[in-house]
Chains A and B, each alone.
Chain A
Amino acid sequence: MKFSKSLFGLALAMIAGIAFAEVQPHIHQVLGLVDHSTLVMGAITSLAGLKNLADQLPNPPGGRRVFAVLAADLDDAVIDWPRIADITASECTVAIPVKAGKTLAVITPAENSLDATFENQGDRNYMAYKHAIMFDIAGLSQTQLTEAAKFMNAGCIFLVEEHDETVKIYGTKLNPITLKQKGQLGKKGGDKKGMSFSGDNDSFMFAPPIYKTTLALPLPV
């Protein structure tokens, strides 16, 4: 009797488990919840092998320009950008939702000074991504100082144009990067008179995604 009761209980638990697995995606759909595991990886995806770039292909480091926009200059109707749902295979497929008439600022850093990084942070089961950007600007002129002041306490999204023509997005609307700046006069000939900018933010769901080449970017003329 005891045995049949526990058998019945086991069967009931199995049926409940199967039923929950069937119903769960619908619950997510109905409640508008996002199942991140399926969005990021399609449940658990097996490893396929991680290889170096193929032989005979160039692998140029560094970047050419940075396109910057204040998070406040993005369309109010868009809550966040880019979102995990905007990214397919590490590529952002949704154009930057800037407010009508707002263009991205073009930053041309001093030669060999632009760098952008990302990393995983946290212990296992607590990991997330961190994005960081850094560059120098040569000079300390009135125009440069006036422009630099606009970055004070202002969250930004940066699109970095790499030497291989790829553009990657650092920061998001709801999790923007705020630059810190440091200016130096230099003591003698050969010293660098100018400004250094750096900023980072963490708790991102993804590494900096690629801005798809078919998407337009509005820049000033």
Chain B
Amino acid sequence: MVQVKLAKAIEKPGVLFRIGERSVTITQQPSPVDDADYETIRTQFPGWIQRVSAKAPSEAQEG
């Protein structure tokens, strides 16, 4: 799983990507997305989404 959000250029609160009979919703807030779905969307819709680097464990504990 990777943390993904919509790219800044996409001025929408969210986009629902229908992939076959599944759907993946990506919003302006980072949310976990399956690696394969991330690759599918990234390659087919370049510039729509961006991966958010996860916080380091120590950082997450502090936060």
Contact = CB atoms under 8 A, between A and B. Distances in A.
B11 A101 contact: yes
Nearest to B25: A221
A101 B18 contact: no
Nearest to B40: A216
A34 interface: no
A220 B24 CA distance: 11
A219 B41 CA distance: 13
Contact of B9 (A100, A215, A218): A100
A214 B9 contact: no
Interface string B1-19: 0000001011111111111
B9 A101 contact: yes
A219 B16 contact: yes
Q: Which of A219, A220, A221 is packed against the most chain B CB atoms within 10 Å?
A: A221
A219 B13 CA distance: 12
Contacts, number: 56
Contact of A213 (B14, B20, B23, B45): B20
B47 A103 contact: no
Contact of B21 (A95, A101, A165): A165
Contacts of A219: 15-18, 23
A158 to B, nearest CB: 15
Contacts of B41: 216
A221 B40 contact: no
A103 B15 contact: yes
A215 B19 CA distance: 6
Contacts of B14: 221
B48 A221 contact: no
B44 interface: yes
Interface in B15-45: 15-21, 23-25, 27, 40-41, 44-45
Interface in A41-89: none
Contacts of B25: 221
21 contacts: A95-B45, A100-B9, A101-B12, A165-B20, A213-B19, A214-B19, A214-B20, A214-B40, A215-B44, A216-B17, A216-B19, A216-B44, A216-B45, A217-B17, A217-B19, A218-B16, A218-B17, A219-B15, A220-B16, A221-B13, A221-B14
Given A101-B48, A216-B18, 5 more contacts: A100-B47, A101-B12, A216-B17, A216-B44, A221-B14
